[in-house]
Structure 1
Amino acid sequence: MSSTASAPSPPLPSTSGYISAVRSSCLSASTHLSLTPNLPAIDAFLLSLSPLTFRRLATQHGLTFPLRFPTPIAEINFLSILALLNSFSGYRTAFHRATGSGAYQNVVRFMIGLYISSDAEDRVVGAASLTAKGLRGLTEAKVVELMGVSVHEEREHETLKGVTVGVRGGEMLDVVQMILKALQGVAGKLQELGHDSLGSYVVGLLEATRKQGLDDDRATDFLTQRLADAFVEFRDTHSITGVGEVFLFKRIFFLLHSLRLRFGEKQDWYVPDTKRTLPMFVDNVLPTMCVWFNMFSVPEETPKGMETLYEWVRTKHCNADLPREKLTAGGKDAGPELSQDETYAIRAATLNVGRVVVERAKVLAKEEKEGREWLAELNEVDLDGYLWSVAKDDEALRSVPRLVFRSIHF
């Protein structure tokens, strides 16, 4: 398992303005490390976009499931747990070797399996296995069964030459144990708070946003703060050595947008307009795409501890060592394995780039040139959706080696 499991609790903002803290921390880290937006490349990216393709891909959120939920709480519970586990992009190559599918697809399959294989129904959340009690009692064997992976790897026998033996270990064992740790940790906290499920906790927050009359900005801050404060497992945050704290909350943002898409019109709750309030939801996929599109500028002098990251940013983009014609269609090779500091540095810079891309889009839209008007409607959430989807939709871009950081963040 990752060494981060025993690390100190991830940091939280010292203010209730969580979204502002996310943006300012990422801008600060990007500026401090001179890992800044490359404006000419960003403009070239924007002008290369097809509005029809962009709109199609920006709305592919991977939130359609072959399930029938008995209550809205059941669906929210499912979405909430899915968001919690939407964090294994660092294991993409390992998942493809083990199952033939990517990280998100495997998490979705696991969630569906957990839902439909439950030994008992639950009138509120649909499956007893997805209640706090059910998650607390989840076993390694059950996770292995539902994921269809092996937690053993073949190694040569220490004394018998040419003989291989199965030894407990490997990346899939790490994944299984991190899933267990996350689900059991959240379940224990829910029981401590007196909630039967994560869905009921989230619904309580949505009811509170309505009762308090919060507007979009305050509701987004409130929901993000409450989820991050209550569950350490949702904290996609880190303190970069010599730089400072970086707050991302990728999985909380993914959850809030999922709720907006599914329940934005429900009158009993208030789900904020995420396209207006949220930055991008950054893990490993979006930084990889932004590097490939050459959206970063880096200084000649590399900050200490950032050597692997800066070499990747300098050389592996469409205008340097990794042009489109060099991409092997269908390849799933892993990219550079980064340290935790390097990973959060590029994630922070990516979130900041998302802001700049939207700002540049609005500038270009005002120029009196045909075909640019649609850029005025661009927002960071749709940009996130496009970059995430085009990395899967475009066969060549599926083959761009993605950065590797093997952790569930907390």
Structure 2
Amino acid sequence: MALPLNFPSVIAELNLLSILSLLNFASGYRVPLHQATGRGAFDSIRAFVFTLYISSSAGGEDNLLSAKGMQSIEEGKVAELMGVSDKIHIEKPHATLPGVLVGELGGPVWEVVQLVTKVMRETGNVLMTSGYPDMGSFVLEALKEGERARKDNSNEKVHPECDVILERLVRAIPAFQDMALVDGQRELCCGTFLGLIRLILNPNTSAVYCFKKALLTIHAINLRFGSSSSSVPVPRTTHLPIFSDNVIPSILVHLGIIDLSTSNQELGLASLFPEAGTNETLDLLLTRPPLVTDGNNAKPKEIPKEGPVLTKEQAFILRAAAVDACELIIQTAQNLTDEDLKPDSGENHDGAKENLSWLKDITLPEVDAWIWSIAKDRADYRKLERFVLTGTTYF
């Protein structure tokens, strides 16, 4: 998880890593960002954050990564650093002159610029009000609080530090408050090859908590500093749930792991992915991909096809279902028998028998990383539609 940049201090790196996680959203604008920049949502945000770092003067007045710099950043600067200044206007007919078109700010890329600016400014305002010079300092304090909670608990099987850190992040930063109330009493039943996922939402238990970016921040710190000798307290994250966005739920639906055909008709989920989970689709998706032998001959990335546009309620339900599905995947893996794990149960790319004993030790963050990586790196999976929710800063 090391970033390909030179940092003057550990706190500077922690600051950038935290801001990268904070801005890890815009998945609903994947297609327009591909059209505008040639990159998807995460790659566009990552390029923006790197440019933000390179163009900022550490400790200077123009340090846009400081709390003050974040608080004062403008849309024009965000568009410039994202490289989309020429992509944020739309043409409309003049109100009084027939045949004349006028340009004005608008369109999906402009929405992304507005959302990024909003998150940076509101986060900078929180940090300034609380007396933190930058986000890295705030996160470091949360990590230290988590470390104290860990030392106060002698049971090594309990990991209290992540609970403490998560609460600090979510309570303070609006863009980390990734939760929603689903109105009324609803029940979503998702048939899976593992059994049955039942997500019950009623007036007493209608809150859905995902906290994708806050959890990802904690795990990213573990990945970056877990094997280093830095002064950053490193939380244990093997027990964390997946970091549910739009990618993992969509892939799980396409693979037939989440079956929406049995969902409550009032939710409007059953027809979102009409070809998902069919025998024809699964035969193609579960076939081993061809080996890529020469990266220089790789085809340029195609602009992906837009997926179904969801409501906020639908998106949270699917994301919550994905969290449950991955929990069941882990439970199933941990309960595999010696017979299930025999070397002749599977083959690798060379046709050799594969030892599957490692399956019993997989963690939820590893499942998350694997699903996310194949969705990005495997060509046929990249073409799969992913659901779309615009206007959100949570994923």
TM-score, structure 2 normalization? 0.80
Secondary structure of 1:310's aligned partner: coil
Q: Spell out the pairing of 1:169-318 with structure 2 (5 A cutoff).
A: 169-212=106-149, 213=151, 217-242=159-184, 243=201, 244-264=206-226, 265-266=228-229, 268-275=231-238, 277-298=239-260, 300=262, 302-304=264-266, 306-307=267-268, 309-313=269-273, 315-317=275-277
Once the 2 structures are TM-superposed, how far is the Cα of residue 210 of structure 1 from its aligned partner?
2.8
Matched residue pairs, number?
A: 340
Cα distance in 2 for residues equivalent to 1:323 and 1:70: 51
Q: Which amino acid aligns with 2:304?
A: K
CA deviations over 1:229-264 (Å, ceiling 9, x no partner): 111221111111123110011001111111001112
Matched residue, 1:79? 17
Once the 2 structures are TM-superposed, how far is the Cα of residue 163 of structure 1 from its aligned partner?
5.6
Q: Is the 8 A contact 2:212 2:243 kept in 1?
A: yes
Say if 1:322 and 1:162 are closer, same or farther in 2 by CA, change over 3 A: farther
Matched residue, 1:135? 70
Once the 2 structures are TM-superposed, how far is the Cα of residue 162 of structure 1 from its aligned partner?
6.4
Once the 2 structures are TM-superposed, how far is the Cα of residue 127 of structure 1 from its aligned partner?
7.5
Q: Which amino acid aligns with 1:274?
A: T
Structure with max Cα Rg: 2
Identity %: 34
Q: Which amino acid aligns with 2:373?
A: S
Q: Spell out the pairing of 1:2-401 with structure 2 (5 A cutoff).
A: 63-118=1-56, 120-122=57-59, 128-149=63-84, 150-155=87-92, 164-212=101-149, 213=151, 217-242=159-184, 243=201, 244-264=206-226, 265-266=228-229, 268-275=231-238, 277-298=239-260, 300=262, 302-304=264-266, 306-307=267-268, 309-313=269-273, 315-317=275-277, 319=279, 324=284, 330-364=302-336, 366-368=338-340, 369-370=342-343, 371-401=355-385
Say if 1:158 and 1:226 are closer, same or farther in 2 by CA, change over 3 A: same
Q: Is the 8 A contact 2:147 2:235 kept in 1?
A: no
Cα distance in 2 for residues equivalent to 1:301 and 1:211: 44
Q: Which amino acid aligns with 1:142?
A: K
CA deviations over 1:94-146 (Å, ceiling 9, x no partner): 1001111000011011101111112x3229xx972100011111111100101
Cα distance in 2 for residues equivalent to 1:164 and 1:251: 41
Q: Is the 8 A contact 1:132 1:195 kept in 2?
A: yes
CA deviations over 1:323-377 (Å, ceiling 9, x no partner): 748xxx8450011000000000000000110100111122235435323322112
Q: Is the 8 A contact 2:253 2:259 kept in 1?
A: no
Higher helix share: 1
Q: What RMSD in Å do the two structures reach over aligned CA positions?
A: 2.5
Query: Where in structure 1 are there 5+ consecutive unaligned residues?
Result: 1-62
CA deviations over 1:30-75 (Å, ceiling 9, x no partner): xxxxxxxxxxxxxxxxxxxxxxxxxxxxxxxxx4433101111101
Once the 2 structures are TM-superposed, how far is the Cα of residue 403 of structure 1 from its aligned partner?
0.4
Query: Where in structure 2 are there 5+ consecutive unaligned residues?
Result: 185-200, 286-300, 344-354
Say if 1:382 and 1:288 are closer, same or farther in 2 by CA, change over 3 A: same
Matched residue, 1:47? none
Once the 2 structures are TM-superposed, how far is the Cα of residue 267 of structure 1 from its aligned partner?
6.3
Once the 2 structures are TM-superposed, how far is the Cα of residue 316 of structure 1 from its aligned partner?
2.5
Q: Is the 8 A contact 1:298 1:314 kept in 2?
A: no
Say if 1:122 and 1:388 are closer, same or farther in 2 by CA, change over 3 A: same
Q: Does residue 408 of the first structure (1) align with residue 393 of the second (2)?
A: yes
Q: Which amino acid aligns with 1:230?
A: A
Tell me: higher relative CO, structure 1 or 2? Use CA pairs within 8 A at least 6 residues apart.
1
